[in-house]
């Protein structure tokens, strides 16, 4: 919207006035609001001295109509320059497809509880999730109250699938709330301990598990310092906190809230959590690391850190990812992006890698 307003502004208006101008322009050009209503309500929102300016600028935007949007490089304008450069460096020309995917509303994906039938009207995806059109309200789908399913993006469902927890195994889900992956692990029959630092988010996790009637031990603790006692874990899922730049379709504020320094800070915390997870894992045990970020510092770069911790990459095989084998990297990790499966509605951007802990490792 700033690019639309640019030709009509001779000097920079105060921040709140610019915000009102953006809203007015969006109403006029994107929402089809009648000109008198959009202009009138915008004028009412600003202090008197700016009423004339807002009136004049928005009238000109209304006169220009959809032509004001033509020729703008919308994908690029919607993406802060630092993110565009980082994605261009990581993904080359596909940066444009990624940014274009961010402009589409994400569909609703569900994971099913064991034995539950999918609600009508969805598409069964090759990886096992069920997809419903964007805008579908999950609480209105038949079977929600009975705990038949939970909301989980198709890409977000993959890390727990790759861990392939077996009945009776001791599995830790570090960084667990709101619990989509805990639910998958519990549904597989594992003895799951879900660790979550934030008490409010832990309460939400508990609510979700109760609705789904799936069992897990819930521990409110900082995974960096947590000392469980008892035997080490057979398998660990580490869905680490991240900048979440893979979820922009669902959280369009992310590009505007995050700063380049956040990437390094998140990557540092992820490395610490990875080291903590490695300590909690039994020799020979499996670990899946996942982050919902498109930044390689929060993904591919962790492979070297993992190796130094005695975690050997266990390459993902194409048959483990039906319809998505192209997301497997040369090393055998997985990189999903919002522009994968474009005809089906895309998916969140995730990095995930599976490791096996050495039986003998000198710290
Ligand atoms: C990416 S979200 C996890 C999503 C979750 N795995 C799921 O599938 O629903 C990261 C979670 O980690 C929690 N967290 C962040 N730092 C943590 C720490 N040091 N120990 C435990 N939990 C932490 C956050 O509060 C947040 O709930």
Q: Do 202 and 271 reside in the same domain of the chain?
A: yes
Report the DSSP beta bridge partners of residue 237: 173, 288
Q: Is residue 259 part of a domain?
A: yes
Mention every residue, 6+ apart, whose C-beta is less than 8 A from residue 275: 305, 309
- Asked if residue 213 has pLDDT above 70, the reply is yes
Q: Do 137 and 30 reside in the same domain of the chain?
A: no
The pLDDT-based confidence of 11 (bands split at 50, 70, 90) is: confident
For every residue of 17-35, DSSP letters joined together read HHHHHHHHHHHHHTS---H
46, 238, 290, 292: the active-site residue: 292
For a pocket test of ligand 1, which of 158, 171, 178, 196 has the largest count of ligand atoms closer than 8 A to its C-beta?
196
Give the pLDDT of residue 361.
58
Tokens of 28: 């006029």
Q: Do 150 and 41 reside in the same domain of the chain?
A: no
In the three-class reduction of DSSP (H, G, I as helix; E, B as strand; rest coil), residue 191 is classed as: strand
Q: Do 139 and 230 reside in the same domain of the chain?
A: yes
204 in ligand 1 pocket by Cβ < 6 Å?
A: no
Rounded to an integer, the average pLDDT of 211-219 is 97
Q: Is residue 97 part of a domain?
A: no
Rounded to an integer, the average pLDDT of 297-313 is 97
226 in ligand 1 pocket by Cβ < 6 Å?
A: no
Q: Is residue 52 part of a domain?
A: yes
Residue 63's domain spans which residues?
A: 1-72
Q: Which phi and psi (to 5°) does residue 71 adopt?
A: 80, -10
197 in ligand 1 pocket by Cβ < 6 Å?
A: yes
Whether 292 is catalytic? yes
Q: Do 181 and 298 reside in the same domain of the chain?
A: yes
For 249-300, what is each residue's pLDDT tens digit?
Answer: 999 999 999 999 999 999 999 999 999 999 999 999 999 999 999 999 999 9
Across the chain, mean pLDDT equals: 95
- Asked if residue 219 has pLDDT above 90, the reply is yes
239 in ligand 1 pocket by Cβ < 6 Å?
A: yes
Give the pLDDT of residue 69.
85
- For 2-6, 7-11, 34-38, 69-73, which range has the lowest pLDDT when averaged over its residues? 69-73
Count of the separate structural domains present in the chain: 2
Residue pair 127/327 in contact (Cβ under 8 Å)? The answer is: no
Q: Please state the atom number of ligand 1 nearest to the C-alpha of residue 181.
A: 8
The CA distance from 323 to 162, in Å, is 15
Mention every residue, 6+ apart, whose C-beta is less than 8 A from residue 263: 86, 243, 293, 295, 297, 298
How much of the chain, in percent, has pLDDT values that exceed 70?
A: 99
Q: Is residue 306 part of a domain?
A: yes
Q: Which residue has the tokens 């600003």?
A: 46
- Asked if residue 315 has pLDDT above 90, the reply is yes
- Asked if residue 362 has pLDDT above 70, the reply is no
In the three-class reduction of DSSP (H, G, I as helix; E, B as strand; rest coil), residue 68 is classed as: helix
CA of 174 to the centre of ligand 1 (A): 7
223 in ligand 1 pocket by Cβ < 6 Å?
A: yes
CA of 177 to the centre of ligand 1 (A): 6
Residue 97 counted as an annotated binding residue: no
Q: Do 331 and 229 reside in the same domain of the chain?
A: yes
Rounded to an integer, the average pLDDT of 311-338 is 97
CA of 195 to the centre of ligand 1 (A): 8
Single residue among 44, 72, 100 that ends a domain in this structure: 72
Q: Do 18 and 121 reside in the same domain of the chain?
A: no
Rounded to an integer, the average pLDDT of 54-75 is 90
For 102-153, what is each residue's pLDDT tens digit?
Answer: 999 999 999 999 999 999 999 999 999 999 999 999 999 999 999 999 999 9
Tokens of 279: 């300590």
For 15-46, what is each residue's pLDDT tens digit?
Answer: 999 999 999 999 999 899 999 999 999 999 99
Read off the CATH number of the domain in which 246 is found. 3.40.50.150
Give the pLDDT of residue 181.
98
Q: Do 65 and 121 reside in the same domain of the chain?
A: no
Q: Do 16 and 123 reside in the same domain of the chain?
A: no
Cα 36 from chain centroid (whole Å): 39
Q: Is residue 88 part of a domain?
A: no
The pLDDT-based confidence of 229 (bands split at 50, 70, 90) is: confident
Q: Do 336 and 197 reside in the same domain of the chain?
A: yes
Q: Is residue 196 part of a domain?
A: yes
Q: Please state the atom number of ligand 1 nearest to the C-alpha of residue 237.
A: 6
For 167-176, what is each residue's pLDDT tens digit?
Answer: 999 999 999 9
Single residue among 72, 100, 123 that ends a domain in this structure: 72
Q: Which phi and psi (to 5°) does residue 122 adopt?
A: -105, 175
Of 235, 293, 290, the C-alpha closest to 263 is: 293
Q: Is residue 98 part of a domain?
A: no
Q: Is residue 78 part of a domain?
A: no
Q: Do 132 and 11 reside in the same domain of the chain?
A: no
For every residue of 247-258, DSSP letters joined together read GTTT-TTHHHH-
Single residue among 25, 49, 72 that ends a domain in this structure: 72
What number is the ipTM of this complex?
0.99
Q: Do 282 and 207 reside in the same domain of the chain?
A: yes
For the sheet with 149-151, list strands across it.
Answer: 123-124, 130-132, 108-112, 149-151
219 in ligand 1 pocket by Cβ < 6 Å?
A: no
Residue 222 counted as an annotated binding residue: yes
């Amino acid at each position: 919207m700033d690019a639309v307003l640019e030709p009509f502004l001779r000097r920079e208006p105060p921040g709140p006035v610019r915000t009102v101008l953006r809203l007015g322009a969006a109403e006029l050009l994107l929402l089809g609001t009648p000109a008198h209503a959009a202009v009138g309500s915008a004028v009412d929102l600003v202090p008197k001295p700016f009423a004339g300016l807002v009136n004049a600028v928005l009238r000109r935007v209304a006169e220009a109509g959809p032509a004001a949007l033509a020729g703008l490089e919308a994908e690029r304008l919607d993406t802060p320059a630092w993110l565009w450069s980082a994605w261009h460096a990581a993904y080359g020309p596909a940066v444009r497809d990624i940014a274009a995917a961010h402009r589409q509303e994400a569909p609703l994906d569900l994971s099913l509880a064991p034995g539950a039938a999918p609600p009508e009207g969805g598409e069964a995806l090759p990886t096992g999730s069920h997809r419903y059109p964007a805008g579908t309200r999950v609480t209105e789908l038949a079977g929600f109250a009975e705990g038949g399913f939970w909301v989980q993006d198709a890409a977000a469902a993959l890390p727990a699938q790759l861990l392939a927890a077996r009945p009776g195994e001791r599995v830790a889900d570090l960084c667990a709330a709101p619990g989509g992956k805990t639910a998958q692990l519990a549904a597989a029959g594992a003895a799951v301990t879900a660790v979550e630092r934030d008490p409010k988010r832990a309460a939400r996790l508990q609510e979700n598990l109760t609705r789904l009637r799936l069992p897990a031990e819930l521990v409110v603790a900082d995974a960096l310092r947590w000392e469980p006692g008892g035997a080490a874990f057979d398998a660990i899922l580490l869905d680490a906190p991240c900048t979440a730049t893979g979820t922009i379709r669902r959280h369009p504020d992310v590009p505007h809230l995050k700063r380049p320094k956040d990437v390094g800070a998140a990557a540092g915390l992820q490395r610490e959590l990875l080291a903590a997870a490695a300590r909690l894992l039994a020799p020979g045990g499996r670990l899946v690391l996942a982050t919902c970020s498109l930044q390689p510092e929060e993904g591919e770069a962790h492979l070297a850190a993992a190796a130094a911790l005695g975690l050997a990459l266990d390459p993902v095989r194409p048959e483990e990812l039906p319809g998505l084998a192209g997301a497997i990297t040369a090393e055998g990790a997985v990189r999903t992006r919002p522009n994968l499966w474009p005809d089906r509605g895309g998916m969140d951007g995730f990095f995930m890698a599976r490791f096996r802990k050495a039986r003998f490792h000198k710290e």
